[in-house]
Amino acid sequence: MKVINLSEHNSVLNMYLREIRDVTIQKDSLRFRQNIERIGEFMAVEVSKTLRYEPVDVQTPLGVAKVNIISDPIVLATILRAGLPLYQGMLRVFDHAENAFLSAFRRLNGNGELEIVAEYMAAPSIEGKTLIIADPMLATGMSMEAACVSLRKHGDARQIHICCTIATPQAIDFLRDAFHDDPKVTVWCAAIDPVLNEKKYIVPGLGDAGDLCFGDKL
């Protein structure tokens, strides 16, 4: 499994990360969502550099131009609800992609242990396709693993790209074990933060991405 931390190199991505982390700027949920979307657009362009391409002829008013276009069939997936803005940003770039939606959320079971509950999925076949999964926070990796297990029931993807804004080393290690270090899996992070607290929130992180995007939930 390959891990790419995009913040290892300075770019405009740093500005978007600064704004989604800032407690004052976070009060503007519209701006928060837009910054997550911009991170999605930036990340999609980076992912696109790893895909397969083929040349096509394009008729212009003055002649024929050769253009290399993506030949990989893409399925773009997200985990509801927090993943929607990151997904929307990526969809603007991969606007010809097929789409998949899943629900997965964390809760404590009767033994006080964290478990993942998955209740909904709508997805096309992923057989032989490039699967891109957008979810902003990769804290434990458990929700992402549950999403991948569900999606793999719809076929064997040629490549899997897991895209998040902020991850933890714990989540990356968890996924590395879950995927048995599968070389066709790549994890893309805008940043990797060092700590996961007792409530399984990323520190320093940014808080609850779903609530910041869409408001508090019961």
CB atoms within 10 A of CB 9: 8
pLDDT, tens digit, 9 for 90 and up, residues 13-60: 999 999 999 999 999 999 999 999 999 999 999 999 999 999 999 999
CB atoms within 10 A of CB 8: 9
Sequence ranges of the domains in the chain: 2-54+68-214
Q: What span, in angstroms and rounded, lies between the C-alpha atoms of 148 and 204?
A: 27
Tell me, which fold does domain 2-54+68-214 have in CATH?
Rossmann fold (3.40.50)
Q: Which percentage of the chain shows pLDDT scores above 70?
A: 93
Q: Indicate yes or no: pTM above 0.85.
A: yes
Q: pLDDT category, 184, cuts 50, 70, 90?
A: very high
